[in-house]
Structure 1
Amino acid sequence: MGNTSPFSSVPGMFTHRVAESGDAVAFSHPVPDPSGAPEKWETLTWSQTLDRVRDLALGLHSLGVTSQARCAIASGTRMEWILADLAILCAGGASTTVYPSSTPPDCAYILSDSGSMVVFAEDAAQVAKLVDQRAQIPGVSKVVVFDGDGDGDWVITLDELSALGAELREERPGLFDALVAAVRPDHLATLIYTSGSTGRPKGVRLDHSNWLYEAQAVQDLDEELRGQGWEMLTPDDVQYLWLPLSHVFGKLMQVSQLRIGFRTAVDGRVDKIVDNLAIVQPTFMAAAPRIFEKVYNRVVMQAAEGGAAKYRIFRWAAGVADRVAREKEKGRTPTGLLAVQHRVADRLVFSRLRARFGERLKFFVSGSAPLSPEIGRFFYGAGILILEGYGLTETSAGTFLNRPGSVRFGTVGLPMPGTEVKLAEDGEILIRGGCVMRGYHNLSGATEEALGPDGWFATGDIGVLEGGHLRITDRKKELIKTSGGKYVAPQGIESRFKALCPYVSNLVVHGDRRPYCTALVALDPEAVGVWAAENGLGHLDYTALTAEPRVRQMVQEAVDELNRGLPRHETVKRFTVLPHDLTVEEGEITPSLKMRRRTIEAKYRHLLDAMYEDSVRPL
């Protein structure tokens, strides 16, 4: 049932990688220039990384961190996050992840529920949250800040923690190796808090064996694909890592690096992604679908800005890309007229698109939310491969993945090596294997509900298996049942709409126990701003644009096109344009860019109700 890792812990895998790769570059990361000059990228070899981690780990030991003691990290993705995480694990502790966007009460709840004793905080803003909630987190004995100064008592700097470790290293030279050797596969490694139905987040317990299993699955997949003539990952590859490391997807990419040995460029600033792609020149990158949607939308807008002729060429090229992708999905190479058209489209459109991502890109990995098949096929036909995958926090992220040479858009691919899948009678996806969590923290009842006696984890997602490929049809709890008794799966409709309207960031389909489906529409501020300038409305701000009749007409045309491809009971009868985009700060989407459907519906209940005021019968 499982793959077998040669290691007994993540620290053991890390120190083995250092022994194997030593002077090779492990990481690169941007460092701002205090003078205001353009920032530079610095590198760390594997050996240099170990030197920094060793002193931080010993510093934690001197603060009293012992086996499986929880230490939290409240920070965006950056080099110090990775160093802190490795140090916690090497000290024998377990990392509790906290999104930097979390509110002070949420931070306090996670720190208290996890029993965290040390917190790594990114900057003064994160420290302020902790100070504000200090009375609620009496178990936190020390805060270690990445950027900023200590207070001489409760808050110390990263350098001060490292200095504590350096002193201990001089006194006890063999202590670090002893701490690493003492970590066992069944020791807790990571606590990641995910939203629960009660409104309180649930702490998912992932131990070292979970991450060893995931890392080995990636290694085994590489070997499997190499035997089929495909090269996926090697030590010579370069990953661009911007994913939130507080999320399980980002953590998976971390441990994969330790197993394979490729170099990782680290920068979590989302607004820097496009610029960094040209600098980093990665061979692969993992991302949420929203990133690909934004790139696609920008390409569409630029084509439209170029005038009617240029836009017609783009639409023609997009059609060619779709036909080419569909041929390749069937395992066929385009021939004849389609092959000629593809070469022309490549010269006119696709080659410029590929240049945005650097010259070395092999593939992207998409996860966290559904990828629109239309957008996936557009990129595939343009020569940019997006491998959509699937997993949950409770399954250590990496559970299914499309393979090069066996891509099926609209599916999340085949199980990762060592993972088992089956469908319950109602279509719920059940997963078993070393990827599955050991349970929820302090919630035995919830653990028993999710994990059956035979080890099958109930995902809460509904799906179908098509020739081994898994297609997710919807969340079990998000299926809509109209008052006419018809079932509607909103995610597929929402995903399809994004490919039809490049000016929309999110569509929220609603209709549970209602006579018909309606939708809330959130516009993409950047995209609709470009559209406004092109249509003589550049003087209007975002809020004014959402009320502009021509904007509504533009959305209506996309809704009409969407409805033409849907069964009658799934069509969107009415929609309302929201006065602002959905944001993490407002709690409407998660930091991994998933919609919080229930939160959105509760917040905009008045708008939803208004779309049904004159309804008289079910449709």
Structure 2
Amino acid sequence: MSSIPSLLRDRIAATPEAEAYRTPSGDGWTSLSWRATGERVRELALGLAALGAGPDRRVSILCSTRLEWILCDLAVLSTGAATTTIYPSNTAAECAFVVNDSGTSIVIAENDDQVAKLRSVQKELPDVTQVIVIDGTASDDGWVIKLDDVPGKAAAEADYDAMVDAIGEADLATLIYTSGTTGRPKGVELTHDNWLYAASAVRELNLITSDDLHFLWLPLSHSFGKLLEVVMIDIGTPTAIDGRLDRIADNLGALQPSFMAAAPRIFEKIHNTVAATQQREGGAKLKIFNWARKTGVRVVRARQHGAPIPLTTKIEYAIADRLVFSKLRARFGGRIRYFISGAAPLSQDIAEFFDAAGLTILEGYGLTESSAGSFLNRPANVKFGSVGQPLPGTEVRIADDGEILIGGRGIMRGYHGLPEETAEALEDGWLHTGDIGELDDQGRLTITDRKKELIKTSGGKYVAPTHLEGRIKAACPYLSHVFVHGDRRNFCTALMTLDMDVTRPWAEAQGLPTDPEELRAHPRMREEVQKAVDQVNADQASYATIKKFSILSQDFAVETGELTPSLKVKRKAVEERYGETLDSFYDGQA
């Protein structure tokens, strides 16, 4: 096996009639077998080859998470070409940059809206010979054709096999552009072998089987989503696909999956919704919920430390489970064995809450440059606050300054067209992650912060902002984002944004204004946020406490530039946009 298409071919031969994918159809779901998947990929691959896709060529996919994304990706790879991923939330200018920098000649776009972006910059895309639209209309000038009209589908099976056989493990498979929290996005070159290694390493852990049902909503433009695509082919696990964020909760209940991966923001949202609902109802329900939570966390922490759990606590926990936690599990379909979290740090408070509810979150860690997966907590050896042990075959070192260095087959080939940046990132044969961390005696990694994001106060003290941000969000269910500031300042401050989906029902019940601009300044709202800040400040060193904060009227968003498409905060963008507010915290300070 030397490529992802050959992996797919082996999967089809092993389990041709087993379910591969499940996709929304009307009010229900439609299944696709591995054999049917292979037929659709083969036909599309031959059509793409007729349009010029092949070795040393690039095909960009500009589409949200859906079945067609995976089919197109596998078809592109089958021609010997490489897939360039583009987030559907990218602007026209951002799309043009990725298309041109990658050398893309064919773009597969989801719909007419995405085509319109390309049309608006068409003169800047001289190398694009064809745009293929999945749900949309063809153009009179032939530049845009429909996916169903891709030519060349009648070519012989042998032609497809010959294309696949010619692909080598060192050939480029994917170009994924870093989200650019700082500076210009860089195209990360990942080979077929990078992905095959990552998938085999996950398989070796025996966490996932072909009897599981995987629910996939993560952006396939992101390396985490792409890793899951390849893992499921390797193991033969069926995947239900629906990238609509507003459908996650309903889909979990309807599909009853056994596992799902997500970014921490999703788990925060679920936690905050549950907590806010209980606070809004108040009375006996709130008392029972708070008691159940404290009981559950007490059990979780005892397990974490290997301490015995008294019989009385076991009985209390059983009651808490029946009254509270079992109902929460039922909302997620009742079959979840565990969640997997990655892409950003997960608050330990959130992890403990879910574990108490019998919904363990296995936090992992990796970079686009390491094929997304490098570390993962194991179910029998979970340490909350850590990202677990390295995947089999991944090597790790901690540099003298605390930076995490990673080695192994999952490490990228380099940054596209950027030899100096590549040499810097892969100095001495190790990937320099830019993250600071430490290993425990069992080889589990704890990440303390980004090397470039550590705050150094004017007093010379270092503060890890993401740790504080996660804890404050966990302490106040009404918050969507927290941004801690204080680099080269004499104390730390914070910007807060409200999660209005959670906050609005509470505000209505309290008789408070529901307009974010009015609500953010209301004494009752500030009181709720201040309680969370005080709670977190209580166990922090003085220099790491939040002295002042401001609640913003508008949440951070991808569209307004404060978040990356994978929902990470762009720190520089926030500091630039809200510079006056941040500066005002320090008025009159030396």
Contact 2:62 2:87 in 1 (8 A): yes
> 16, 35, 45: which one pairs with 1:57?
45
Q: What is the letter of the counterpart of residue 291 of structure 1?
A: I
Q: Within 1, Cα distance between the matches of 2:555 and 2:413?
A: 37
1:614 positional shift: 2.1
1:157 positional shift: 0.7
Q: What secondary structure, in the 3-state scheme, does the structure 1 residue paired with 2:152 have?
A: helix
Q: What secondary structure, in the 3-state scheme, does the structure 2 residue paired with 1:85 have?
A: helix
Q: What secondary structure, in the 3-state scheme, does the structure 1 residue paired with 2:560 have?
A: coil
Alignment of 1:304-323 (within 5 A): 304-323=279-298
> 145, 152, 155: which one pairs with 1:156?
145
1:332 positional shift: 5.2
Q: What is the letter of the counterpart of residue 28 of structure 2?
A: K
The alignment covers a number of residue pairs equal to: 588
Alignment of 1:92-491 (within 5 A): 92-152=80-140, 153-161=142-150, 164-167=151-154, 169=155, 172-196=156-180, 199-222=183-206, 232-331=207-306, 334-453=309-428, 455-467=429-441, 468-491=443-466
Contact 1:314 1:349 in 2 (8 A): yes
1:328 positional shift: 2.0
Structure 1 residues 333 and 86 mapped into 2: Cα distance closer, same or farther (>3 Å)? farther
Contact 1:92 1:183 in 2 (8 A): yes
> 544, 556, 561: which one pairs with 2:530?
556
Q: What corresponds to 2:33 in structure 1?
A: 45
Q: What corresponds to 2:573 in structure 1?
A: 599
Q: Within 1, Cα distance between the matches of 2:133 and 2:458?
A: 53
Contact 2:180 2:564 in 1 (8 A): no
CA offset digits 1:468-505 (Å, max 9, x no partner)? 11000000000111111111111111111111000001
Q: What secondary structure, in the 3-state scheme, does the structure 1 residue paired with 2:302 have?
A: helix
Q: What secondary structure, in the 3-state scheme, does the structure 2 residue paired with 1:430 have?
A: strand
Contact 2:304 2:383 in 1 (8 A): yes
**2:550 aligned with 1:576:** yes
Q: Within 2, Cα distance between the matches of 1:343 and 1:333?
A: 16
CA offset digits 1:91-139 (Å, max 9, x no partner)? 1110000000001000000000000111010111100000001111111
> 502, 520, 523: which one pairs with 1:546?
520
Structure 1 residues 103 and 318 mapped into 2: Cα distance closer, same or farther (>3 Å)? same
Q: Within 2, Cα distance between the matches of 1:517 and 1:292?
A: 26
CA offset digits 1:270-314 (Å, max 9, x no partner)? 100000001111010000011111111111112112222211111
Q: Within 1, Cα distance between the matches of 2:85 and 2:9?
A: 23
Q: Within 2, Cα distance between the matches of 1:344 and 1:601?
A: 47
CA offset digits 1:158-183 (Å, max 9, x no partner)? 1001xx1323x1xx441000001000
**2:42 aligned with 1:11:** no
**2:54 aligned with 1:66:** yes
Q: What corresponds to 2:66 in structure 1?
A: 78
1:420 positional shift: 0.4
Contact 2:179 2:565 in 1 (8 A): no
**2:483 aligned with 1:508:** yes
> 17, 21, 25: which one pairs with 1:27?
21
Q: What secondary structure, in the 3-state scheme, does the structure 1 residue paired with 2:61 have?
A: strand
**2:504 aligned with 1:520:** no
1:196 positional shift: 4.4
Q: Within 2, Cα distance between the matches of 1:366 and 1:197?
A: 20
Contact 1:331 1:405 in 2 (8 A): no
1:195 positional shift: 3.6
Q: Within 1, Cα distance between the matches of 2:309 and 2:18?
A: 41
1:615 positional shift: 2.0
Q: Within 1, Cα distance between the matches of 2:199 and 2:121?
A: 37
TM-score for the superposition, normalised by structure 2: 0.98
Q: Within 2, Cα distance between the matches of 1:307 and 1:281?
A: 30
Q: What is the letter of the counterpart of residue 141 of structure 1?
A: T
Contact 1:54 1:165 in 2 (8 A): no
Q: Within 2, Cα distance between the matches of 1:319 and 1:238?
A: 32
Q: Within 1, Cα distance between the matches of 2:144 and 2:328?
A: 47
1:194 positional shift: 0.5
Q: List alignment gaps of at least 5 residues for structure 1.
A: 1-6, 33-38, 223-231
Contact 2:497 2:555 in 1 (8 A): yes
Structure 1 residues 90 and 360 mapped into 2: Cα distance closer, same or farther (>3 Å)? same
1:62 positional shift: 0.2
Q: Within 2, Cα distance between the matches of 1:417 and 1:487?
A: 33
Q: What secondary structure, in the 3-state scheme, does the structure 1 residue paired with 2:406 have?
A: strand
CA offset digits 1:52-77 (Å, max 9, x no partner)? 11111001100111213100000110
Q: Within 2, Cα distance between the matches of 1:173 and 1:522?
A: 55
Contact 2:437 2:448 in 1 (8 A): yes
1:198 positional shift: 6.3
TM-score for the superposition, normalised by structure 1: 0.94
Q: Within 1, Cα distance between the matches of 2:395 and 2:539?
A: 34
Q: What is the letter of the counterpart of residue 29 of structure 1?
A: T
Q: What secondary structure, in the 3-state scheme, does the structure 2 residue paired with 1:145 have?
A: strand
1:542 positional shift: 2.1
Q: What secondary structure, in the 3-state scheme, does the structure 1 residue paired with 2:260 have?
A: strand
Q: Within 1, Cα distance between the matches of 2:85 and 2:306?
A: 42
Structure 1 residues 446 and 196 mapped into 2: Cα distance closer, same or farther (>3 Å)? farther
Q: Within 1, Cα distance between the matches of 2:294 and 2:194?
A: 43
CA offset digits 1:380-418 (Å, max 9, x no partner)? 111111100000000001100000110000000000000
Q: Within 2, Cα distance between the matches of 1:540 and 1:363?
A: 36
1:530 positional shift: 1.8
Q: What is the letter of the counterpart of residue 82 of structure 2?
A: A
Q: What is the letter of the counterpart of residue 129 of structure 2?
A: S
Q: What secondary structure, in the 3-state scheme, does the structure 1 residue paired with 2:104 have?
A: coil
1:41 positional shift: 1.1
Q: Within 2, Cα distance between the matches of 1:389 and 1:486?
A: 28
Q: What secondary structure, in the 3-state scheme, does the structure 2 residue paired with 1:485 have?
A: coil
Q: What is the letter of the counterpart of residue 490 of structure 2?
A: P
> 474, 497, 511: which one pairs with 1:536?
511
Q: Within 1, Cα distance between the matches of 2:182 and 2:305?
A: 44
Contact 1:482 1:513 in 2 (8 A): yes
Q: What corresponds to 1:90 in structure 2?
A: 78
- Identity, in percent, stands at 52
Q: What secondary structure, in the 3-state scheme, does the structure 2 residue paired with 1:146 have?
A: strand
Q: Within 1, Cα distance between the matches of 2:120 and 2:304?
A: 54
Q: Within 2, Cα distance between the matches of 1:81 and 1:117?
A: 18
